[in-house]
Amino acid sequence: MRMTPGVWRRLARFWAGSAQMQRWIAFNLVGVLGILIQLSTLAVLTGWLGLHYLLATGLAVEAAVLHNFVWHESWTWSDRSRGDKKGVWRRLVRFHFANGALSIAGNIILMRFFAGTLSVNYTVANALSITVCSILNFFASDRLVFQGTRRESGASGFVFHPLAPLLGQEGLGVVGGKIEHFLRPSSNSPPAPRGPNGRTA
């Protein structure tokens, strides 16, 4: 299929209409970075500083929780938190009680099981624990942490763009307008050639 400007516009409209799917993808991208933060922190604390693996797990999870909250606040759920800057500390507390408490308690319990009982390598055990705990975190954030700032109309202003935290909604609007202008057919464009039957080729 030829990727004409019309096809790109239809794909753009479909993508724009699936805001919750975009949010889920953004959540997981942030989560992947959080996993790297958590695993690297655990490796440093246990391998270099010699901390007990359970204490190191708690500290590593807390580092990932703080990292993830900053990204979720400025990107994943920025459309809900943008007009409520004073509530950032309240959301941080909620995030700790929802995602943080779930992740810390779940990771420590599962680490005790995987690493302590089954003698699995610390890093592998931590990766397994993250997988078990992460699925519920999206729903906890969406329904508990940021639900207080949900728009009354139910419409989502989420923008799936890695530059959203830097450019802001207005900056992305300017960039999007330029792209739309580029894709819009020009009124000065020559007419499409027609075949013998009079139809557009």
Specify the pTM: 0.62
d(CA 46, CA 82): 38
Q: So what's the pLDDT on residue 194?
A: 57
According to the model, what pLDDT value does residue 53 have? Answer: 93
Q: Characterize 25-44 residue by residue with b for buried, 16 or more Cβ atoms within 10 angstroms of its Cβ, and e for exposed.
A: ebbeebbeebbebbbebbee
At residue 105, the pLDDT reads 86
Token pair of 198 as six digits: 């009079």
For the chain, which ranges sit under pLDDT 50? 1, 151-155, 167, 169, 171-172, 174-176, 178-183, 185-187, 189
Reported as type and span, the H/E element at residue 90 is helix 88-95
Residue type, 191: P
Q: Are 27 and 141 in contact (CB under 8 A)?
A: yes
The span from the CA of 96 to the CA of 128, in Å, is 21
Cα(157)–Cα(120) distance, rounded to whole angstroms?
Answer: 43
